[in-house]
A and B are shown apart, each in its own frame.
Chain A
Amino acid sequence: MDSASSDRPVPGQHLAPTVARSVKILVVGAFGVGKTTLIGAVSEIDPLRTEERITTASVGIDPGQPNKDTTTVAMDFGRITVTEDIALYLFGTPGQRRFWDLWSGLADGAVGALVMIDTRHLEDSFEVLDQLELRTKIPFAVVVNQFPDSPDYPLERVRAALDLLPETPIVECDARDRQSAVLTLITLVEHAMTFPVFQKVNA
């Protein structure tokens, strides 16, 4: 494993000694919607990647298949030191069914999720949204990532097509642009503030 030594954090990649708390936001969405791009645009470190092996038989790819098989699920992530004592982690995972079990564990304790949408393939996001609503209670905001050939749908039409609740935020963004990506995070955290589960002030 030569990579372990060459990938060693260089000075500055460790968190400041004042950081004593971490929070996380998930970035989910279908293949190629721009999850890694958005994370890279806001992260203070180069996005990192970690892989997990999961047993496909246990996550419902082939329920009738007695021979367990394994598959690898990659997670890209980045980090922002938002205050001198809080680090915000952004974890990006794909939206396929076989990854959902991995997600629900990831969702525990999360502030919320950004659900990235590509309007050229709107239907790819239906299942992601369904599963997020069914399997987790976490706040989410829908982020419409703009590609050069994206159709010019008004956001309210996208909202209707996705059957979003009236209170669910939906915003456009250019995932490559830092300020645009930061705005999506602000939108999500503002939305999370309205959720009763976060009302309690930690001691």
Chain B
Amino acid sequence: MDTEEYRDHPVRSYVLTSGRAHPSRNTLRPETLVRAVESRPVLSTAGRLERELVQLCQGTLALAEVAAYLALPVSLVAVMVSDLVDAGNLTIRSNHQAHVLPGKDILEKILDGLRKL
């Protein structure tokens, strides 16, 4: 994966996200699932990376996967995803709240699934 380009331009993340260093939604985590909203065309003002991001999300992926495929840091992709959710191009698939831990019922389902592997 080519990270040199990013490394060579330390201010790039700020430029790309219009100067904001933190995502507007602190609910986004590396494992948060996102997906493109098919009926919603990407605004003509959106950048190449935003388009590429929405294109990647034609199926469900976690934020960290999107970051890995775009060869960008998770923190930067979180900002872009947040903006694209606001614009209606992406939807957050995982229906749990940040900070809320999975309940015992979820852990039981995970255990069942792991035992079947």
Contacts and interface: CB of A to CB of B under 8 A. Distances in A.
A201 interface: yes
Given A4-B52, A4-B71, A20 B94 contact: yes
A140 interface: no
Interface string B21-32: 000000001111
A31 to B, nearest CB: 19
A15 B5 contact: no
A87 B52 CA distance: 24
Interface residues of B, number: 54
Contacts of B98: 108-109
Interface residues of A, number: 58
Given A52-B75, A182-B117, A201 B110 contact: no
Interface stretch (A74-82, A126-134, A148-156, A168-176): A74-82
Interface of B: 1-3, 5-7, 10, 13, 29-33, 52, 56, 58-62, 64-65, 67-75, 93-96, 98-115, 117
A106 B102 contact: no
Interface stretch (A32-40, A56-64, A115-123, A186-194): A186-194
13 contacts: A19-B33, A22-B62, A24-B31, A48-B69, A50-B72, A53-B7, A75-B64, A83-B112, A87-B31, A88-B110, A91-B64, A111-B107, A178-B117
A89 B64 contact: yes
Contacts of B117: 42, 80, 82, 178-179, 182
B33 A106 contact: no
Contact of B59 (A9, A70, A178): A9
A50 B74 contact: yes
Contact of B60 (A15, A23, A202): A15
A24 B94 contact: no
Nearest to A181: B117
A54 to B, nearest CB: 9
Determine the main DSSP class of A at the interface with B: mixed
B29 A87 contact: no
A93 to B, nearest CB: 11
A189 B109 contact: no
B33 A79 contact: no
B3 A72 contact: yes
Interface in A71-116: 72, 75, 77, 79-80, 82-83, 86-89, 91, 106, 108-109, 111
